[in-house]
Amino acid sequence: PYDSFVNPSSPSQESAARAPGKTPAGLIRLSDLSDARLADVLDLSDRFKAGVRRTELAGKSVGFLFFRGSLRTRTAFEVAVHQLGGQGVHMSAGSDFWEVEARDGVVMDGTAPEHVRDAAAVMSNYCDALAIRPRPAGNAWAVDRRDEGIHAWARHATVPIINMESALSHPLQALADLMTLRETFGRDLSGKRLAIVWTPSPTPAGPSVVHSILLAALRSGMQVSLAHPRGYELDEGVMSEAKALGAQHPTGGLEHANTSRDAAAGAHVVYARSWMSLENYGNKTRAASRVATERRDWLVDESLMQLGNEARLMHPMPIRRNLEVTDSVLDGPRSLVYQQAANRLPTQKGLLSLLLRGQ
Ligand code: CP
């Protein structure tokens, strides 16, 4: 059965170029969604997962621009748009489109032949929303943390912009994580204990996922315990936000632990993730990460999970088996990682549905 509020007569954008002006609301950070809109997305996601079919993207197109690779985000979006009756246009930088210059006012005598101002304006006339996975330059965290690339797309596009993981945030992963937590513990997450634990990797991820789940959990009133080696502190601005959010909720809050074992004690969920040292960001990151892989004391194994309160394991993937988490934990009954990955589909459908219905 199709849902009742499908609107097959929604206006087409074929006839005229979109007028420049205020970009319709998209999603750069999870905080762009009010509590009511976040609840709407999660409710829609539950309904999609339960089998509700809707075609509100009929006649609509969504452009997906990948400046970095992806397995889950890309596949989930491709299937989501198809199942909602729309068309997805997926392109990878380097092979499918030109390099794009994001700085304003520069003489474009470098390698990029196209400016984001022009690309965003043109793409806005083909697509009803644009989703971007930018590639941070990787030279200085103080620069990359500003997420200038995706903000430039949002400034110059006239359709909603969706962040498919920038240097600072991964709001799509946070949506799937919240859905998974709600499925496991119920809608009220207040007071549940979440341990966020650093894991080693020779190719560590950026801190975006950890920033987003940290803020999402605190916003939900969870008690978060954060553990990482010295030198792997998270972004200072995000930590300030986290402390403020923790102080707002009587049931929740943020504490630091020295080891993953300390963090896991009493936890309902152990959220494992590698992330790079922001202190050693840039050229030094690779060398620091090689050293970090020797940190066997940060491996998530059965003995660590036993310290929790019937703790479940979460990880956004990709995951390095037996370096970050042991096979037996990953393949055992405590693991929620496949459920998390599966929830990327209904949550991304829920988000598209919320952003594009009635446009
Ligand atoms: N977790 C996540 O975003 O996976 P991909 O990088 O494969 O999209």
Q: How do residues 95-140 score in pLDDT, each as one tens digit? A: 888 889 999 999 999 999 999 999 999 999 999 999 999 999 999 9
Tell the residue nearest (CA) to atom 4 of ligand 1: 72
pLDDT, position 25: 85
**Mean pLDDT throughout 236-263?**
96
Side-chain-side CA neighbours of 135 within 13 Å: the count stands at 13
Residue 11 C-alpha to ligand 1 middle, in angstroms? 33
pLDDT at site 287: 62
Q: What's the 76 CA to ligand 1 centre distance in angstroms?
A: 10
* DSSP characters over 129-195: EEEEE-----S-HHHHTT-HHHHHHHHH-SS-EEES--SS--HHHHHHHHHHHHHHH-S--TT-EEE
Cα of 175 to ligand 1 centre, how many Å? Answer: 13
**Predicted confidence (pLDDT) per residue in 302-316, tens digit:** 999 999 999 999 999
Predicted pLDDT at 1: 31
Q: What is the ipTM of this complex?
A: 0.99
Cα-to-centroid distance, 167 and ligand 1 (Å): 13
- Cα of 209 vs centre of ligand 1, distance in Å, is 10
Who's near 142: CB < 8 A, 6+ residues apart?
none
Ligand 1 binding pocket mutation candidate from 78, 165, 275, 324 (most atoms within 8 A of CB): 165
Q: What is the pLDDT of residues 30-39, one digit of tens each?
A: 999 999 999 9
Average pLDDT of 269-280? Answer: 94
Report the predicted TM-score, pTM, of the whole model to 2 decimal places. 0.93
Question: For a substitution probing ligand 1, which of 65, 66, 71, 339 has the most ligand atoms within 8 Å of its CB?
Answer: 71
